[in-house]
Structure 1
Amino acid sequence: MPGPVLRRRGFLSATAGLAAALTLAACGDGTETARPAAGSSAPAGQGWSFTDDRGKKLELAQPPAKIVAQVGSAAALWDFGVRPVAVFGPHKLKDGAKDPQAGNVDIAKVEGLGNVWDEFNVEKYISLQPELLVSSMYVKDTLWYVPEKSKDTIEQIAPTAGIMLTGKSATEVIGTYEELAASLGADMRGVPEAKARMEAATKQLAQFKDLKILLMSGGPDQMWVVNPPEYPDIVHLTAAGLDVVTPSKVDEGGFFQTLSWENADTYDADVILYDTRTQSLKPEEMLKKPTFAKLPAVEAGQLYPWRAEVPFSYQGYAAFLEELVANLKKARPLG
């Protein structure tokens, strides 16, 4: 997934200065239930503490209620019942519609502090009098979508919590968001049911162990083959029994291997899962690349979506895995 200084819109690298190509897109399960704002169910006057993935212990006199979050973190927290007052990162498409990455967040009810890489309205952030900022991390100590140029100012305004993604499984990341949400007083409505759905769908993945699966993203001049260990969702899939292609040589940063479209046939696969993020090429665009169009999986119609930035919540993963199971049931080994 990503790294610092990255315009990450696709595969982000953990190396500063490495630019990435694609915008993230995720998909929640579309359900919305009335839940209290963060902190509303926490006992009044009780102290609050949370240790984030930087090993940083955050302590306040009471649970923070005014929370600002990077859109991926906002989507995860929203499903646990936390309602941020503002988001930053890709949450609105060019036509004004909600970016799928925002999951179930009601973008009409939150402030937007920035929608693209390196955009963060510090003045508006200060005016909101935030009590906590939450963001994911692809590189330890680097909060995703918090601009380097204004990082110091932003971190002086309110405590910040960083949730690490790289090198972890989806269940670990979801568990951290669950812990944070619980500490903030969220009521967790719907969580047990969603967790059961996620677990049931996960168990079904083992039946597809005979399928060789390649996950990729496409750009105008090249394609990227993902490196499974760096992605929480793919770590989850491989742990559940899926056989996912691991590139033999990854780019600097470790997140993926870049190939020209002429070399799209470098790896054999029965199934190809394509990145659905906003600026990744759509299937009809990739099919115009002759080498890609002739791949056995493509010719067999075994080309299915990869929801590369699913919210780290049980709701988000239940929907993602159920869709994947339904698609893989249509596939067959091609060897």
Structure 2
Amino acid sequence: MTRSAIPFTPVKRRAFLGGLAGTAAAIGLTACGVSESNDDDKKGDKGGEGGGKQGTRSVRTDNGTIEAPAHPQRVIACENWDTLMLLDLGIVPVGIPDGIANPAALPADVYQKLRRVKTIGVAGTPNAQAIGALKPDLIVDQFYKDKTAPLKTIAPVAYFNWSDSGALWYEQLDKVADAVNRRDALTDAKSEYRRRLKEVKDAYAAQISKTTWAPLSGGQNGAFFLGSPLLTVMRDLGLRIGAKIAKDEAGFVQKSYEELEILDDCDVLLYPQLFDGKAPALTQQLLDNKVWKGVRAVRAGHAFPIRHYTVGSYRWANGAVDEIEKILRKL
């Protein structure tokens, strides 16, 4: 069947500032198959028999206070965002949703970490039997309260509402870091991100001050989407955002091809690219359209693909900084 390469769950509220408001459907990420996991390979099952024997600690969640292992070793990620956040914290989950381990949709190093991890069903439909077989000591969820609450009979469930909380991606990541007791790892990730931001801002101050940018992606039936979670990184770099994108906007705002003129104030445009070098199908339709080819930034050769288009972890944010730096060098 056809399934999104990384079927990210949509998050409500436009002030999901640079978080993960978009879905793969909005970007047009599609791929066949569900997972690269191998049921005969145990490499994804890391960490022994769990952290419960090392003591517990109280963790405040949006579902009440739970008793979680002091140092969780076998963590289940119920959503793909959970998976990428746990990797930021140095944890390879023992169970992940179907479909995330796709080489076209992930950086090579991330794919290698996830390719043999066991899957637990489609995001939003966790398979309790599959989860139980992995003997987890903690289950992390940010979207499916009703679906994951019964899993507490298997292991503590750390639920942090992201669907309609309006929280930013890094605020959610702070909560996950606390749940797995990895705040030190998060401090290191934040420091590296801030270091890279300063480095790029200092080196390319002239280009940054003189240009206006916007991210966009293809949509269905002659539509495109303005905005992306990438906006957080763009704003952190001090880039001026055009195309009438609101200051608190980071999700995808649907427009028609007839409205492409809204991009006329932009010097640089960014659009998504898969890690196999191809544009998602719907974005490719946009790129092939003659109206797109008449946009000012496109005519100037200043429309660029970017692979870290959806940002929900510091690994992803740093990847976006690296890609934007390469673009700044060309301006």
Calculate the TM-score normalised by the size of structure 2: 0.68
User: Which amino acid in the other structure matches residue 200 of structure 1?
Assistant: R
User: Are residues 1:21 and 2:13 paired?
Assistant: no
Aligned partners of 1:212 and 1:257: how far apart in 2?
A: 18
Contact 2:26 2:252 in 1 (8 A): no
Report deviation, 1:44.
5.8
Deviates more, 1:70-79 or 1:43-52: 43-52
Contact 2:217 2:272 in 1 (8 A): yes
User: Are residues 1:112 and 2:110 paired?
Assistant: no
Report deviation, 1:202.
1.0
User: Which amino acid in the other structure matches residue 66 of structure 1?
Assistant: R
Counterpart in the other structure of 2:16: none
Once the two structures are superposed, residues 264-314 of structure 1 have per-residue CA deviations (whole angstroms, 9 ceiling, x without a partner) of: 22233111111336984376532211211111111222122342334513x
Counterpart in the other structure of 1:140: none
SS in 2 for 1:109: coil
Report deviation, 1:42.
7.7
The aligned runs of 1:201-212 (5 Å cut-off) are: 201-203=196-198, 204-205=200-201, 207=205, 208-212=208-212
Contact 2:216 2:224 in 1 (8 A): yes
Aligned partners of 2:273 and 2:218: how far apart in 1?
A: 10
Aligned length: 289
Counterpart in the other structure of 1:122: 128
Contact 1:113 1:125 in 2 (8 A): yes
The aligned runs of 1:73-88 (5 Å cut-off) are: 73-88=82-97
Aligned partners of 1:205 and 1:56: how far apart in 2?
A: 42
User: Are residues 1:309 and 2:318 paired?
Assistant: no
Cα gap change, 1:13 to 1:60, in 2 (>3 Å): closer
Deviates more, 1:160-169 or 1:260-269: 160-169
Aligned partners of 1:177 and 1:254: how far apart in 2?
A: 22
User: Which amino acid in the other structure matches residue 126 of structure 2?
Assistant: F
Report deviation, 1:213.
0.9
Calculate the TM-score normalised by the size of structure 1: 0.68
Point out the structure with the larger helix share.
2
Once the two structures are superposed, residues 59-97 of structure 1 have per-residue CA deviations (whole angstroms, 9 ceiling, x without a partner) of: 23643322111233222322432121110153144xxx4
Matched-pair identity in %? 18
Cα gap change, 1:21 to 1:316, in 2 (>3 Å): closer
Aligned partners of 1:38 and 1:187: how far apart in 2?
A: 19
User: Which amino acid in the other structure matches residue 270 of structure 2?
Assistant: L
The aligned runs of 1:1-335 (5 Å cut-off) are: 12=10, 14=12, 21-22=26-27, 45-52=54-61, 54=62, 56-60=64-68, 62-69=70-77, 70-88=79-97, 90-93=99-102, 97=103, 99-100=105-106, 104=110, 106-115=113-122, 118-136=124-142, 143=143, 146=144, 150-154=147-151, 156-158=153-155, 159-162=157-160, 164=162, 167-168=166-167, 171-181=170-180, 183=181, 188=185, 192=188, 195-203=190-198, 204-205=200-201, 207=205, 208-221=208-221, 222-226=223-227, 231=229, 233-245=230-242, 247=244, 255-268=251-264, 269-276=266-273, 280-281=280-281, 284-306=284-306, 307-310=308-311, 312-313=313-314, 315-331=315-331
What value does the CA root-mean-square deviation take over the aligned residues? 4.3
Once the two structures are superposed, residues 103-137 of structure 1 have per-residue CA deviations (whole angstroms, 9 ceiling, x without a partner) of: 6252343111235x55433321233233222234x
Cα gap change, 1:274 to 1:10, in 2 (>3 Å): farther
SS in 2 for 1:264: helix
Deviates more, 1:163-172 or 1:266-275: 163-172
Cα gap change, 1:200 to 1:40, in 2 (>3 Å): farther
SS in 2 for 1:78: helix
Once the two structures are superposed, residues 190-211 of structure 1 have per-residue CA deviations (whole angstroms, 9 ceiling, x without a partner) of: x84x655422321224721332
Aligned partners of 2:120 and 2:108: how far apart in 1?
A: 14
Contact 2:217 2:226 in 1 (8 A): yes
Q: Which runs of 5+ in 1 are unaligned?
A: 1-6, 26-35, 137-142
